[in-house]
């Protein structure tokens, strides 16, 4: 961790962050949400299920789930047992099933059956933290309120010297000043794509990385 702190301390983050963004955008193209959904509520459900689970698996699970329940009110009436059965393969299914059901009930009771469109309201929903709320606000409502920080974003941002923090909340605060608001969500998606293809958790394939000439960690991880 000391090495990451040294990189973070001496690197001109404001200068290099746009360079990283442009090179990743050129490599991966325009990005969109990796989860399939048809409404803000379905997006919320999909994001909840994506915790500790691949987007590919979530996209295999949600068609049957979305077909079974027509809208948020139907989810609110679902039993815990049925919901667990439908989301079982995504892992941590008991908590996920409970959060989906409890969030549905709160949305029906408190928000008139509509997914709320502010950070403070979304954070009231069971199982919703800033990462999930940022996805909902950006993708469903077109509002870039913050930067989505998952494990890929955190890991690669540290390797790039953009942060030395470990908690998603602190990483987000380090990243927010580095790029224009309009780029916040796409930046996260680009890092996720890069983290899956090249800069993986187990090994960074620096030899084929488009950032290798400007990355302070190239060849060291």
Q: Is 150 a catalytic residue?
A: yes
How many CA atoms does the CB half-sphere of 210 hold within 13 Å? 16
Contact 14, 177 (CB under 8 A): yes
As given in the structure block, the two tokens for residue 97 are 């099933």
Six-digit token string for 52: 């500790």
CA 47 to chain CA centroid, Å, is: 8
Cβ-Cβ contacts under 8 Å for 109 (sequence gap 6 or more): none
Angle at CA of residue 126, ends 120 and 127, nearest 5° = 95
Count of other CB atoms within 10 angstroms of residue 115: 20
- For the record, the structure tokens of 132 come out as 């999930």
Active-site option among 5, 9, 15, 150: 150
Q: Which of 2, 109, 110, 131 is catalytic?
A: 131
10: Cβ contacts below 8 Å, ≥ 6 apart: none
C-alpha to C-alpha distance for 53 and 57, rounded to whole angstroms: 7
Does 55 qualify as catalytic in the annotation?
Answer: no
Dist CA 93 CA 122 (whole Å)? 21
Q: Tell me if 216 sits within 8 A of 161, measured CB to CB.
A: yes
Active site residues: 131, 150
């Amino acid at each position: 961790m000391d090495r990451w702190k040294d990189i973070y301390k001496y690197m001109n983050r404001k200068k290099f962050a746009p360079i990283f963004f442009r090179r990743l955008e050129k490599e991966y193209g325009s990005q969109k949400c990796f989860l399939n959904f048809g409404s803000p509520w379905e997006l919320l459900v999909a994001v909840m299920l994506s915790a500790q689970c691949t987007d590919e698996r979530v996209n295999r699970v949600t068609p049957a789930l979305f077909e079974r329940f027509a809208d948020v009110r139907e989810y609110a009436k679902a039993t815990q047992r049925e919901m667990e059965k439908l989301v079982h393969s995504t892992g941590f299914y008991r908590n996920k099933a409970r959060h989906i059901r409890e969030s549905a009930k709160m949305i029906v009771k408190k928000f008139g059956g509509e997914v709320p469109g502010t950070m403070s309201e979304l954070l009231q929903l069971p199982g919703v933290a800033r990462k999930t709320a940022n996805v909902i606000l950006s993708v469903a409502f077109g509002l870039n309120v913050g930067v989505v920080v998952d494990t890929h974003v955190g890991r690669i941002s540290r390797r790039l010297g953009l942060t030395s923090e470990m908690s998603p909340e602190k990483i987000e605060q380090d990243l927010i000043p580095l790029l224009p608001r309009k780029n916040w969500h796409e930046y996260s998606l680009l890092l996720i794509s890069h983290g899956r293809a090249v800069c993986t958790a187990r090994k960074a394939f620096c030899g084929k990385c488009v950032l290798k000439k400007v990355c302070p960690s190239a060849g060291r991880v």
